Structure 1
Amino acid sequence: MHEENLNFILEQFIDPEYIEPESSRYLLIEKQESGYTELNVEIRGENICIAQYDKKSRCGFWNRSSETGLSRCVEHAILQHTSNGWILHLIEMKSRVDNRKWFNIRLKNRASYLDIKALSAILDIHIIKVCTYTTYSEDRFSEHFDETNPRAKVAALGERRINPVDEWNSGKMHITIGLNCEIIFHHKSLLMNRTNQKLQGKLEIG
């Protein structure tokens, strides 16, 4: 249950189709040509869930050139209220992860964080922590960089080059915003179970 002011903003200013009815359980789905993913999420406390976030309208003022990486976002986002403030949970769904895909995943998480920061200003809530999750069934990371891929040789605008294998294994995601501002997101990889063309898994958020 939301406090009075937040509840008023959600009801009066936000499209009712934009967020899910508040619950302690969500079934988050991603349909792709390569397969189908289902993630059962259990979350404690007050929360705001934006399912299918990548298919919904977001901030229209970004420079969405290929250099900025601001044109895409993660599949799902959940804001969770705790005693210290709000935690943002960002969920990206993949069937396979590798060096190149990790590069794109990082850009999606950065863009999503910036979009949700704008939304949180409207909702008058403060994000104190960001947790990111990547669902997958195949790990094809390699210590050898693809020198034929020009995007792997240089960092995107506002990003420093990161070793994808080291970062994937570290449980952290380094995000650079502006010239001298780097923030660290917590990251958790979620290995999914495959049944035919369906990937299934579970995420518990305490």
Structure 2
Amino acid sequence: SESKNTIIRQSFLINRTMEALNDFNDINSDSFKLNMNFENINLIINESLDSILDLFRSKRIKITLDNNISDGLISMMDRSRIKGSLLNIFSFIYNIIKVNSSMNILCSLINYEDNENFLYMNGVDKISERERKKLELNKECIEISLIFVSDEIPEEIKRMLFKTPLISYENINFNNIYLYTAYNIIKKHYGNIWMETFENKQRINIIFPADKRL
């Protein structure tokens, strides 16, 4: 029944918020550490998508996945933290995406050297020397782009989305813990995340270093 489905969706979002709060507390504690292992990023993307499909169906969202990352690629990451970060980003998008629209997910490997100017436009953080050294060990980066339709978000708000857990916007305070925690965890993986307007749609880009293994 629809009421049962509504309860399931609400419990999913409540669970995500509790997980994000746990991440928030961990990130801001001195004892924060990542449980790093070689993981298959495609499995993590697919598992995250499977978890949120019903949520997006409730808004009649069509999701397309264009994945150009080979199944053999594994990368050093904290599996549960990256999966949680993707789910947090999806939950943020779910809250603002227009009903009866679509979300396109593009996954690919990009060459860091070729794309340096691209990576750091749109107000993306300049990368620290330590992170630069880390990235230079891995010229290729995994890039995940999420493209969707929502009401326009002012540029000054976009710049705050990843830095501030609570934002005042049009006289409303809204909890931004989803993107705040995702940003901090992806940064700890020597990656980055930012949002831009792309052909009248919103686009969230996520990058982190790729480690090729057979």
By relative contact order (CA 8 Å, sep 6+), the higher-ranking structure is: 2
TM-score (norm 1): 0.30
TM-score (norm 2): 0.29
More strand by share: 1
